[in-house]
């Protein structure tokens, strides 16, 4: 891995990729990002041409480059580049014109971004651009890794001037590339139906993927990929982009009249305006830009490797995720001490590690209509208190976990009665209610301090090894009485910063507690959360069939080992579908595993299976966590789902194969494996095959027909020595 400056050029490179920029007459131009190239005088390859209606920039090479045709690293508004700007700043006189020119650079080890989650490791090039009229500096950060084909990007604006300015847009990156008839891939969805893969042609104009929900949302994930038009999982150039951010975001892809594609993204500039006082700075979230020259699967492998090594909490690396028994779908709100103890006892000696007490344990919380904010145990319901439940867990050989939803307040709660002003609301308007609840204004210092203390006390007072941090609504009103009227459009980003501060505080105070993220399932699956929480509840749909698609979708950008799945009741609580206990477990084992049903209601044979399943999970999880994922059959476009995970040494792995519906008319599936060593011999359990890697990968094998709907197999593949 290396970063070097040669003449007017900057090269960031590792063994596989190069990212090249040029200081072009003071404007920071993008030259190239893709498969590795040499340190030639790459300027010979880039043509600039004047056009009618052009606004040229004067370069010191006495060449006139038209700004609207230049590949630009930091395009600004009203400058003659009429494409999407990456930065827009309003000066004290109301103008939005800026002119940022190169002023210097430095190279250093990557530093943590203050107040925001970001990747660790790597080497960083920091390029300073200055607008000398207003004395504003933009630092552009580029980090490269030696073991992943990714560039981590973020920007920082510093006001060195004497007057306040207003930042109307601050992107994390801008990447201009030549068009190649690209496809765009994104992840859209809704509650219980997250991570649906959407592929479209990149058309002319601007395509935007965004959240205005205050959190990442189920609707759209902060991920997009630009792929060669004939790409497959294993061929074609792909640029994958993901924001390490949990607030309202925007990603855009613009194909212009000159066949240039501009990708930008960061904090959503819709309803955003940030007043930057003299000597203050504003930092964008980090964006990760992965390049793959061998298809979509490799892009996912790169994201996954990067996040597993440089993003997830260091403490969690190498640790096996505990197998949990969660009370939510086991009992919802309908439990008391006796029932909880029965559920806990039923998990003794099964291999389950942790009992998680989900919603309903606090205040008068017997339904979702009340008590959020009252974080003290309901002793009418749980007479023995949390200590009694924790002791029961200990007696049954289990650890104890607990559900919290810190950002919320119910109108019917003691907290609201005492502090009605802590609710997020707009003066004179009735605030919008969602799931019968409101947000707490994290920007209000008193509310923030209360949350810090109440959860510190909870975790300090009890032997809690696991916390599920939930968030069950989107943000409305977007107003804080703690902000001046001119700063209200800072609300969204400030809320996100305060949330990170709260999470950072609690996770740092309790480094041995495993925190799981959740937002009504997968409403906040993003790199920002994964920086603090090593796992996230992937979806409120626990139906194994739906989960094949949801997990396939998430696997584009996130390590599946960091997303959790549970075996739940049959017929399924959400869609009433009947699927066997063993298929439900196979699919839940794609990530962090657990159960979410009352084990007392299971048949003897099902109960016996739990022990085997837990043993299996403990055996496979280190491969799921540390190995590489290969997508084999797409459940969005076929009636099957198949993925495999192989360890790095290519000696052992697991194959998931799932059939949705039996269809006699169908030609049997030929499955070609991936990720094996060509010359080695492997045994494929269940199908009883002993074949070499090249045969399994190139010829493949016919999967015998399954005469059963919703049927899966989870198979060991092992090198024969």
Q: Which residues bind ligand DGJ (CB under 6 A)?
A: 328, 358-359, 403, 470, 472, 518, 520-521, 537, 540
**CA–CA separation, 150 and 173 (whole Å):** 13
Residue number, 478 or 542, with CB nearest to ligand DGJ = 542
Catalytic annotation present for 470: yes
**CA separation for the pair 202, 228 (Å, rounded):** 10
Q: Which residues of 270-279 are buried (b: 16+ CB within 10 A; e: fewer)?
A: eebbbbbeee
> Of 173, 167, 201, 8, which is closest to residue 102 (Cα–Cα)?
8
**d(C-alpha 196, C-alpha 219), whole Å:** 9
- Minimum CB distance to ligand DGJ, residue 326 (Å): 7
Asked if 687 contacts 667 with a C-beta cutoff of 8 angstroms, the reply is: no
Distance, in Å, from the CA atom of 184 to the CA atom of 174, rounded to the nearest integer, reads 17
Q: How far is the CB of 506 from ligand DGJ (least distance, A)?
A: 18
Minimum distance from CB of 493 to ligand DGJ (Å)? 25
| Residue whose CB is less far from ligand DGJ, 317 or 433 | 433
Closest approach of ligand DGJ to the CB of residue 520, in Å: 5
Task: Specify whether the CB–CB gap between 87 and 157 falls below 8 A.
Answer: yes
Q: In whole angstroms, how close is the CB of 547 to ligand DGJ at the nearest point?
A: 14
Q: For residues 330 and 573, what is the distance between their CA atoms, to the nearest angstrom?
A: 10
> Which of helix, strand or coil describes residue 692?
strand
- Report residue 562: phi and psi, to 5°: -95, 5
Phi first, then psi: give them for residue 90, nearest 5 degrees: -100, 125
The smaller minimum CB distance to ligand DGJ, of residues 332 and 456, is found at 332
Nearer to ligand DGJ, 292 or 410 (CB): 410
DSSP string, 333-386: T---HHHHHHHHHHTTTTT--EEEE-SSSBTT-SSTTS-TT--SB-TTT-TTHH
The answer to whether the bond into 571 is cis (omega within 30° of 0) is: yes
Structure-token pair, residue 455: 């959860």
DSSP character for 434? Answer: B
Residue 144: CB atoms within 10 A of its CB come to 24
Q: What's the closest the beta carbon of residue 518 comes to ligand DGJ, in angstroms?
A: 5
Min CB(247)–ligand DGJ separation in Å: 19
- Smaller CB distance to ligand DGJ: residue 298 or 354? 354
Rounded to whole angstroms, the Cα distance separating 143 from 47 reads 27
Nearer to ligand DGJ, 328 or 554 (CB): 328
Closest residue to ligand DGJ: CB criterion = 359
Pick between residue 586 and residue 596 the one whose CB is nearest to ligand DGJ.
596
**Residue number, 172 or 472, with CB nearest to ligand DGJ:** 472
What minimum distance in Å lies between the beta carbon of 465 and ligand DGJ?
A: 18
| Of 104, 114, 184, residue with least CA distance to 154 | 114
Cα 4 to Cα 8, 112, 147, 291, 543: the distances in Å are 11, 22, 18, 20, 51
Of 158 and 330, the one with the shorter C-beta distance to ligand DGJ is 330
Rounded to the nearest whole angstrom, what is the least distance from the CB of residue 551 to ligand DGJ in the complex?
Answer: 16
- Name which of 56 and 520 has its Cβ closer to ligand DGJ: 520
Smallest gap from Cβ 542 to ligand DGJ, in A, equals 9
Residue among 346 and 568 whose Cβ is closer to ligand DGJ: 568
- From 269, 359, 374, 470, the catalytic residue: 470
DSSP, residue by residue, 78-141: TSS--S--SEEEE-TTS------EEEEEEEEE--PPTTS-----SEEEEEEEEETTTTEEEEEE
Distance CA 470, CA 520 (A): 7
Residue closest to 152 by CA, chosen among 22, 284, 29: 284
Structure token digits, residue 36:
């590795």
* Residues 6+ positions from 692 with CB-CB distance below 8 Å: 678, 679, 680, 681, 682
* Residues 313, 530: Cα–Cα separation, whole Å: 8
Q: Do 69 and 48 contact (CB within 8 A), yes or no?
A: yes
Catalytic choice (441, 540, 543, 598):
540
Residue placing its CB nearer to ligand DGJ in the complex, 359 or 425: 359
Q: Smallest distance, Å, CB 359 to ligand DGJ? A: 4
Q: How far is the CB of 195 from ligand DGJ (least distance, A)?
A: 15
Distances (CA, A) of 303 to 177, 244, 387: 21, 12, 41
Annotated catalytic residues are 470, 540
């Amino acid at each position: 891995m290396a970063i070097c400056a040669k003449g007017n050029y900057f090269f960031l490179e590792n063994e596989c990729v190069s990212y090249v920029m040029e200081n072009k007459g003071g404007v920071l131009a993008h030259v190239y990002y893709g498969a590795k190239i040499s340190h030639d005088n790459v300027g010979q390859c880039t043509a600039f041409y004047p056009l009618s209606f052009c606004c040229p920039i004067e370069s010191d090479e006495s060449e006139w480059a038209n700004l609207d045709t230049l590949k630009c690293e930091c395009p600004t508004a009203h400058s003659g580049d009429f494409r999407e700007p990456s930065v827009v700043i309003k000066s004290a006189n109301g103008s939005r014109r800026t002119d940022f020119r190169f002023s210097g650079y430095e190279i250093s080890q990557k530093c943590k971004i203050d107040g925001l989650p970001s990747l660790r490791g790597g080497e960083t090039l920091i390029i300073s651009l200055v607008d000398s009229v207003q004395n504003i500096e933009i630092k552009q950060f580029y980090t490269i890794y030696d073991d992943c084909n990714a560039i981590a990007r973020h920007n920082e604006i510093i006001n060195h001037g004497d007057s306040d300015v207003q930042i109307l847009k601050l992107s994390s990156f801008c990447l201009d590339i030549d068009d190649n008839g690209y496809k765009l891939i994104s992840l859209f969805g809704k509650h219980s139906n997250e991570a649906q893969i959407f592929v479209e042609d990149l058309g002319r104009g601007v395509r935007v993927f965004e959240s205005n929900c205050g959190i990442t949302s189920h609707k759209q994930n902060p991920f997009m990929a630009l792929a060669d038009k004939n790409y497959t999982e294993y061929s074609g150039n792909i640029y994958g982009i993901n924001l390490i951010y949990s607030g309202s975001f925007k990603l855009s892809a613009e194909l212009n009249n000159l066949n240039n594609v501009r990708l930008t993204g960061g904090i959503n500039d819709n309803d955003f305006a940030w007043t930057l006082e003299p000597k203050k700075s504003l930092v964008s979230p980090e964006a990760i830009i992965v390049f793959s020259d061998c298809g979509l699967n490799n892009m996912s492998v790169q994201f996954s490797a990067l996040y597993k090594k440089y993003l997830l909490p260091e403490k969690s690396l190498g640790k096996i995720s505990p197998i949990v028994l969660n009370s939510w779908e086991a009992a919802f709100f309908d439990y008391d001490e006796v029932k909880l103890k029965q559920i806990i006892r039923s998990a003794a000696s099964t291999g389950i590690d942790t009992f998680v007490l989900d919603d309903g344990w606090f205040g008068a919380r017997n339904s979702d209509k009340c008590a959020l904010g009252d974080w003290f145990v309901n002793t009418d319901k749980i007479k023995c208190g949390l200590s009694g439940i924790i002791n029961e867990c200990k007696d049954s050989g289990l650890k104890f976990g607990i559900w919290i939803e810190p950002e919320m307040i119910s109108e019917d709660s003691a907290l609201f009665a005492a502090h009605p002003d802590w609710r997020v609301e707009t003066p004179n308007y009735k605030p919008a209610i969602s799931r019968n609840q409101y947000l707490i204004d994290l920007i209000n210092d008193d509310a923030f301090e209360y949350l810090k203390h109440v959860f510190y006390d909870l975790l300090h007072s009890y032997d809690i090894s696991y916390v599920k941090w939930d968030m069950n609504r989107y943000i409305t009103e977007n107003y804080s009485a703690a902000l001046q009227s001119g700063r209200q459009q800072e609300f969204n980003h400030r809320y996100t910063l305060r949330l990170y501060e709260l999470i950072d505080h609690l996770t740092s105070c309790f480094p041995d507690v495993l925190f799981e993220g959740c937002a009504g399932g997968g409403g906040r699956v993003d790199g920002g959360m994964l920086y603090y929480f090593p796992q996230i509840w992937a979806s409120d749909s626990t139906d194994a069939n739906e989960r094949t698609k949801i997990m396939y979708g998430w696997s584009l950008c996130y390590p599946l080992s960091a997303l959790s799945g549970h075996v739940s009741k049959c017929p399924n609580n959400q869609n009433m579908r009947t699927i066997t206990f063993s298929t439900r477990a196979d699919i839940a084992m794609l990530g962090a595993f657990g159960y979410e049903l009352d084990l007392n209601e299971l048949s003897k044979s099902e109960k016996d299976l739990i022990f085997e399943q837990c043993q299996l999970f403990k055996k496979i999880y280190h491969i799921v966590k540390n190995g590489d994922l290969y997508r084999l059959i797409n459940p969005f476009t076929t009636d099957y789902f198949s993925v495999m995970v192989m360890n790095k040494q290519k000696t052992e792995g697991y194959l998931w194969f799932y059939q949705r519906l039996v269809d006699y008319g169908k030609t049997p599936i030929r499955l070609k494996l991936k990720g094996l060593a060509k010359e080695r011999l492997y045994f494929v359990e269940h199908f009883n095959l002993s074949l070499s890697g090249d045969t399994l990968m190139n010829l493949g094998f016919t999967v015998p027909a399954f005469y059963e709907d919703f049927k899966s197999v989870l198979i060991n593949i092992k090198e024969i020595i």
